Structure 1
């Protein structure tokens, strides 16, 4: 074929060319164009000048110039007598007036004849196309050229807008029937005689283009439909090629999805199954579209191309939407395809977001119905797994300890886990699966992780709980789309109680019922294998069950959402309402188990035990602990020799040492002489230094401290037994206190041998330092379910408070010893007998130190601990017993309770200036306490006679000066912190809805400042 811009020789085109360029040929056609004057342009448009344009000023100038122009005289034309009618003679001005009247009469007669002509006889459209011999003279139903026959419109388009010649373009003509027969195959994703699948770019191209590309030719074939130009032909074919390309791409994606491993979860395979059903529905819909086989067989009939083209519009839009969902839309190339994640959360979120976008854009009902079907089918297994993970809709299974991090759905294991499995490992395993799809309501997303963890704890705490037996097996979460289903769900009426089954089960029901083998309901589909070969295929309808489900789903899908749930988010909230209520009830049940039920799982009892021992709030334990670790006798070595009723005095080592001293008095004197040379660690019990090493780690200390715990637990807190041997208290409480004997215990810390400055000797290795007892701490082992409420980090906060309390007790005991050394009648000696000022300074320093330590001790136990702990216990009591309590006074689940417990300890530590962010002011408090201890040690050495009064006087004066500076700085910094606190002027015992208000962390420092410096005494010291 030549490069002639006209694809074929047509009489009308030949006539036009001959009439236009061959006057002689026109002369041979008498009567042609004799009635129509030749139209010539009477104006021209000059080229724009190459300068900036000013449209406003130019318009004004043009308007002014037009008003000044002289009147234009008309130009008249006269047709010559030439038969061709193409010879036009321009009349000269003198002849214009003669011919003017004749010209006007001819034109009027021409159009008057067109008006009065009978339209039913000939075509009333007057144009140059009438010159064609094949022109139809029958009347036309319209006067528009675009609505004439194809050849007329094509010729007119070429005449008005001729196509530019491009040597790379190759025009390929084809007939309508041949093209449509080929497109009917291409639109189904199958190669035809005109278009072939190109695997590199994954799209359909013309066969000629494919051959030219393989041969290396740089040409672009353009298909021309019979009677259409290249623009219309390309536009017409483009839709069919796009549909076939997208359908083929989705089928290739479906093949790749089916090859994925089963370990990637059921959601991705559910998407593959749903996508297969959707493509099958689209393929059958394409087959039903025109033209039919009979229309293609009749080659003489003209096909309505515009009607055929429009029938594929909706299916094209559906395929475009599906390809965008899968990342295979038509502009993309294979190297830019989106990867389909197998993780359920992002996959389902992507489907839901596409459905939400189409709902907001009010896309056609078919598209919204298909996406709703995809979401319903794909998410069914995932939602069921999530529901079962919290005991909703089935019996929950054991959580598998080792699960893949990339798995987003909850992985379950039927086998029992070991009882010693760390509960926090199970919680961390659940944390890996708490990324839910975006369509999960926010409240549900917040409740589900807590409910899943609560179920694990409930299995450990109460294995026979109803939530663990699958009592709600008939309930499940499902999507509602029709108005009838939504109204039934809204009014809590009867809805389907089982998940929808596939039509395959319904179609096989009759055949399966005759089977001799009975199957469980979940294995009923396997009964089809008991049928005779060929029975199912021959007697079942040749329709895919999933395809039938899709057709019925599309048929029943409403054009708009029901009025009760007008938006997709409100519909989702209704669908997940039961799951939300179940998760909330599950969390409340576990919380009730830990709060209301007595026994070893009662959280309040454990809190009181922790407060009594680790915070030293129990008077009996405090007394025994002071006796075991501290001494306030005021005389060196008095406790170990003078007291014999303590547990330590009954230890094996103490008995052996006493027996050895009785037999060898000289050895006893040498030992006393040796002991007299040791520094006196004022405030510490003397028997802690019997081994002459520090820290005093040994069996005696362990036995003694263990006795302290046991004696404290037997001090009347446990239920007593009656005379009949029956318990006056509850059995659960008795069991709790029996277990407390081994849950509580003292332990030794593994502290570094060097201090913070890198020196070889750390302070905890020096019995004279205030940190001498930092090596000792109390450990507590809560029951396994309660580890979530009393974790290791919270116990570490309790232990920090216990270490601080031991330091405070050490200083208090040292001050008591100081008072005994200076005022007791039997052991006191005159301190500084010749240094009157030093004695007065000692008494003043003693008074100031005692006021500081007593105020600090009262603040620690009454305000910092009691002011926060008591309101927390009251809130714990009222959380479930008082329904009228406000929501800020209750707990939604055990994890909120655990966080509140941790916050409680944070407030106590903040009130005691023990947080890491309070290191500066906390160091001032520690140094002030350390100076008081050093003061007592100096006075103790003076009392023993190891130093003279002239040596002790400057030491006391120096310590007092340092103490005043530290206290002044401490109160100044404390005042600055209190001024910045928004609650500095509030009273700690302020009530809120009848409940005691916690003193808090930094807010409690206001009370410490009042206790230490009520009259601004230290501020006056600073000014003086």
Structure 2
């Protein structure tokens, strides 16, 4: 059934309806009279009406008016001059038109005779032909005139030709490149103006939607090209990573251009190209360029002044590429996007990964050997005329400082744990053992590289090496022996087997760029998803760096084993025993000789009896002459050797002291032999004569800081210290910082021995029968004897604690862990020996000394309790000096009684406070109820620690809470 739009009451098309305040009222256009109240006979009524209509005269036909535009179309289509007949034919045609069964609704445009019969039967304008719809929109919504908006009309063929140039990043007849904004702008637009292109059959909205994708592609292509130009201008000193990165970007852009050249519109089929289909084909390339522009910080939404600064250093550059690749793999982006990012990462990181591998001797070119063998020269620490040795010593630390300690964030945590130590271990291993098997392996044994295909991943997982990717040659050469095959890495040398003159036609110097073909092969072989063996990118990364982790661990273990199992002067255990014996005074022969050289326990003052007598007053001003038989007027430096005071200057620096102390070291070597470690005893003892030595340090001078200038104080010998020159690679394990801790302990031990020697002098003075203490003051004599006993008990307990618990209780278990038998048993039993490399061993050595310093209350954080201990020792020494003055007759008994009583009162107060503070530290710290030598399961000795050892100090000083209960 066909419905015709006929309204006999419509107004003129040009008439303007009266404005209505709201919707117009809907009025009925017909009237149905009510039926009469009588029986109805429809059949007879119809026959009667038919007879009446037949007898009526014919009425004139009133043809309805149509819109003016449709009337013009009808008039143009007809050759008749009778306009009324044409309109009548129009209505009759509408009644007889066959439209099928889909829709019977007609628009005015479909009533014209020129309308195509193949067009859609719908009445919606948006579904009509493009020109009809554009004309209707232009008529209904006319554009307002705006001087800032430039509208250009273009045909579809002209637009496609322009878009083909735009996507390649080239200006066209419709758009041109603006260098300031780095965008394509419409031709003819000035600054501040906007341009719109209107394609035939499309309005500016549809046209802009179609063109926007191609403008985005062209803009991003051009921006990446400009970015590539800037990278290529960088200096070669920035390293190969940035240039490999630029090459990967150039290859990617060339690949995209080749893809664009294959895509429509093609010149031969421009007219048959559909914009919608063309728009969809370029969708993937827009996604690729948007992803690449985000990587380089050149997205379309950024203006040139907002571009982020590009860091060309390898670490942040590779980390950024890896992060974007991981993001696209997690988002399951199209395979081509992930493949391009994987290609950029593989290309850019190739040289950097090889450098990392070569830094630990893994693959790459052969490692250079050091020309110097450590231990061959005993005078390697002496400065020669050329200064080569001294310069070579500094190169170790300079080389270690120059090693890069920052790596990309995609390096596995296992690799980051072993790589820095392995790089430093390689430097030390070259010096310590240039002929080590790890340094003489053939080069290019293995390379670090990314692999992405499932086959290569499975191959590496099984422990094999994947086959290298070799490009197919462009042209095959005909060798002399056609049956001869070449290895892939030697295929380029097949030219030497050709007949002479066979290459005349083609130049041998022709360069063929196969990077695009390599990229296409890489994209084709890139998997849609990672295989189940490595389901995520971090799993794949761990597999890629697996061999490097193993090699780095092997290298670090090799250097550690060299220092532990060496039979020469690099045996670390022997050096530790040497340091313990001399710098910590645990060797009996050296300790006894040093005590004889620096201290004296004689009970008589002997300095004034010699020809070079010395007085305390003459420390700063010595009289020009001294009358024979004059009574000395200075106190007695109790406990010090009289030979140190012969020159009447303090400190007694001179050639005699140096020679005497040197003799102490050399003589003690003859009796030291049983305490040194495996195999290295002979060489270590032989070299110890010039590695060990006493030296004089410059100490600060000022109020409260110049006690070392007074021989009466406990700090009188602080100017003296022992220095040690370890072998060159051993400086990592025995660094200057570690030696300074040894020297702090040495100074503390000298102070303790000085007080002990003073107490021994006091006991010898008390044995005198001719001049006993306090002959008339019995109470003072009892106090002196009591004080002497308490002081001697305090000093002897402290000395026993320092040597047996603080030093040996921590040092001996540490040394015991360095024997080869312990390492072998720990390795066979699957235990961790506690040291993965020499740097961890050096940290363990430093922690050992920190524990000993803590046990001796010498750390900076223990200043308060350490001052209490030091003040107690100073009071004991002051007590000995006062007794010495009383013994010499310099003090009267009543004077000495009050002085000694005052010193004892201070000493008792200090000791009470010290024991209380120690008890508080022990209560706050971990329980220390174990024995002096703690033994764990298996008989392994464990160190007592630092704070833990204070429990034993409290037991030694206050076993029965004597000081805590004292009034």
Which TM-score band (shorter chain)?
Answer: 0.7 to 0.9
CA–CA distance in structure 1, aligned partners of residues 265 and 351 of structure 2: 41
**1:450 aligned residue (401, 416, 421):** 421
Q: Report the CA distance shift for 1:919/1:526 in structure 2 as closer, same or farther (over 3 A).
A: farther
Q: Report the CA distance shift for 1:894/1:20 in structure 2 as closer, same or farther (over 3 A).
A: farther
Alignment of 1:141-220 (within 5 A): 146-155=126-135, 166-209=146-189, 212-213=190-191, 219-220=193-194
Please name the residue that 1:921 is paired with. 865
**1:936 aligned residue (861, 880, 884):** 880
Please name the residue that 1:482 is paired with. 453
1:1014 matched to 2:959? The reply is yes
Is contact 1:389–1:396 with CA below 8 Å preserved after alignment?
A: no
Please name the residue that 1:348 is paired with. 318
Please name the residue that 1:963 is paired with. 907
CA–CA distance in structure 2, aligned partners of residues 930 and 912 of structure 1: 16
Please name the residue that 2:341 is paired with. 371
1:854 matched to 2:796? The reply is yes
Please name the residue that 1:617 is paired with. 586
Cα drift, residue 749 of structure 1: 0.6
1:23 matched to 2:28? The reply is no
Alignment of 1:131-530 (within 5 A): 131=111, 134-138=114-118, 140=120, 146-155=126-135, 166-209=146-189, 212-213=190-191, 219-296=193-270, 299=271, 301=272, 303-395=273-365, 397=367, 419-430=392-403, 433-471=404-442, 473-496=444-467, 500=469, 506-507=473-474, 510=477
TM-score w.r.t. structure 2 length? Answer: 0.83
Alignment of 1:605-1004 (within 5 A): 605-637=574-606, 673=629, 676-717=632-673, 732-756=680-704, 762-823=706-767, 829-877=771-819, 878-883=822-827, 889-987=833-931, 989-994=933-938, 995-1004=940-949
Please name the residue that 2:569 is paired with. 600
CA deviations 1:384-442 (Å, max 9, x no partner) are 01101100013465699xxxxxxxxxxxxxx9996333422221111xx1211111112
Please name the residue that 1:69 is paired with. none
1:590 matched to 2:563? The reply is no
Is contact 1:747–1:779 with CA below 8 Å preserved after alignment?
A: yes
Cα drift, residue 692 of structure 1: 1.1
Is contact 2:366–2:442 with CA below 8 Å preserved after alignment?
A: no
Is contact 1:600–1:735 with CA below 8 Å preserved after alignment?
A: yes
Please name the residue that 1:12 is paired with. none
Is contact 1:718–1:737 with CA below 8 Å preserved after alignment?
A: no
CA deviations 1:913-939 (Å, max 9, x no partner) are 111111111111111000000100111
Cα drift, residue 119 of structure 1: 4.1
CA deviations 1:568-614 (Å, max 9, x no partner) are 00000000000000000000000000011222001111011000000
CA–CA distance in structure 2, aligned partners of residues 983 and 527 of structure 1: 80
Q: Which moved more, 1:150-159 or 1:472-481?
A: 150-159
Q: Report the CA distance shift for 1:717/1:384 in structure 2 as closer, same or farther (over 3 A).
A: same
Is contact 1:682–1:936 with CA below 8 Å preserved after alignment?
A: yes
CA–CA distance in structure 1, aligned partners of residues 266 and 232 of structure 2: 34
Please name the residue that 1:664 is paired with. none
Q: Which moved more, 1:142-151 or 1:255-264?
A: 142-151
CA–CA distance in structure 2, aligned partners of residues 975 and 764 of structure 1: 32
Q: Which moved more, 1:335-344 or 1:457-466?
A: 335-344
Q: Structure 2, unaligned stretches of length 5 or more?
A: 1-7, 32-60, 69-90, 371-387, 482-487, 614-624
Cα drift, residue 143 of structure 1: 7.9
CA deviations 1:502-537 (Å, max 9, x no partner) are 66xx448849999xxxxx989979999x99798359
RMSD over equivalenced CA pairs, Å: 3.8
CA–CA distance in structure 2, aligned partners of residues 512 and 386 of structure 1: 40
CA deviations 1:626-683 (Å, max 9, x no partner) are 1111111222229998xxxxxxxxxxxx9x99xxxxxxxxxxx978846844421111
CA–CA distance in structure 1, aligned partners of residues 725 and 881 of structure 2: 38
CA–CA distance in structure 2, aligned partners of residues 941 and 176 of structure 1: 119
CA–CA distance in structure 1, aligned partners of residues 897 and 475 of structure 2: 106
Q: Report the CA distance shift for 1:937/1:494 in structure 2 as closer, same or farther (over 3 A).
A: same
Cα drift, residue 192 of structure 1: 0.9
- Aligned residue-pair number: 866
Is contact 2:477–2:495 with CA below 8 Å preserved after alignment?
A: no
3-state SS of paired residue (2:694): strand
3-state SS of paired residue (1:197): strand
CA deviations 1:131-177 (Å, max 9, x no partner) are 56653232538787655432344456667877666453232111000
Cα drift, residue 86 of structure 1: 8.4
Please name the residue that 1:130 is paired with. 110
Q: Structure 1, unaligned stretches of length 5 or more?
A: 1-18, 27-37, 46-72, 88-109, 401-414, 515-519, 642-653, 658-668, 721-728
Is contact 1:868–1:907 with CA below 8 Å preserved after alignment?
A: yes
3-state SS of paired residue (2:394): coil
TM-score w.r.t. structure 1 length? Answer: 0.78
CA–CA distance in structure 1, aligned partners of residues 259 and 556 of structure 2: 50
